[in-house]
Amino acid sequence: MSEELKYIDYDEALKVYRKTVDASGGGLQGVKDEGGIRKVLDFVQNDLYYPTFVEKLTYLVFGLCTGHYFEDSNKRVALTIGVWFLVHNGHYWHAYNFLQCMEAVIYHVAAGRIGKDLLQRIIGCYMANEDYSESLKLEIIHAIENKQVGIDE
């Protein structure tokens, strides 16, 4: 990447976690897997595996959501740390809307209906300010409904 990206470290991630839980109505606080959190925060910096900003944002959000590294609020924290990553790398408008646009999506990620590849396509459209293509819309519906679309069974 041409610009030096800013990454969140473990201590800052814990601050974001605590503030997120407090601001969103509370919940059980605590870390279940410190090593898992550190792994996600380290791996996202690997340009060989995640060469683009969209790939990094996707990995960060997906990894923190599906890893269940915190006692509670994994979905909220994944989104909030995604916002942190956007803000600290100059994507202010995207950060402003990210929580609202991705809230329903992250629910389906946590439920195992939307995988990392589909999430990356969704985030890619979001970051490019593009509408979803018809095929992507159908893929999202299929993932959420967990069945074939338009085919009677």
**Total domains, the chain:** 1
Q: Is 84 helix (H, G, I), strand (E, B) or coil?
A: helix
Distance of CA 104 to the CA centre of its chain: 12
The answer to whether residues 113 and 144 touch, using CB atoms and an 8 Å cutoff, is yes
pLDDT for 1 equals 42
Asked whether residue 22 is domain-assigned, the answer is: yes
DSSP 90: T
In a domain, 152, yes or no: no
- Residue 70, phi then psi, degrees to nearest 5: -110, 155
Contacts of 129 (CB under 8 A, 6+ apart): none
Query: Domain range spanning residue 65?
Result: 10-145
Residue 66 belongs to domain with CATH number = 1.20.120.1870
Q: In this structure, is residue 70 part of a structural domain?
A: yes
- 116-127 and 53-66 are packed helices; what angle lies between their axes, rounded to 10 degrees? 130
Q: Is residue 85 assigned to a domain?
A: yes
Say which amino acid occupies 114: I
The conformation of residue 113, written as its DSSP 8-state character, comes to: S
What pLDDT, in 10s, does the model give residues 7-42? 999 999 999 999 998 888 767 788 999 999 999 999
Taking only the tens place, the pLDDT of each residue in 117-138 is 999 999 999 999 999 999 999 9
Residue 90 lies in a domain: yes
Query: Is 4 within the bounds of a domain?
Result: no
pLDDT digits (tens, 9 = 90+) for 74-110: 999 999 999 999 999 999 999 999 999 999 999 999 9
Q: Give domain status of residue 19, yes or no.
A: yes
* Closest to 147 (Cα-Cα) out of 116, 113, 97, 121: 113
CA distance 27 to 87: 25
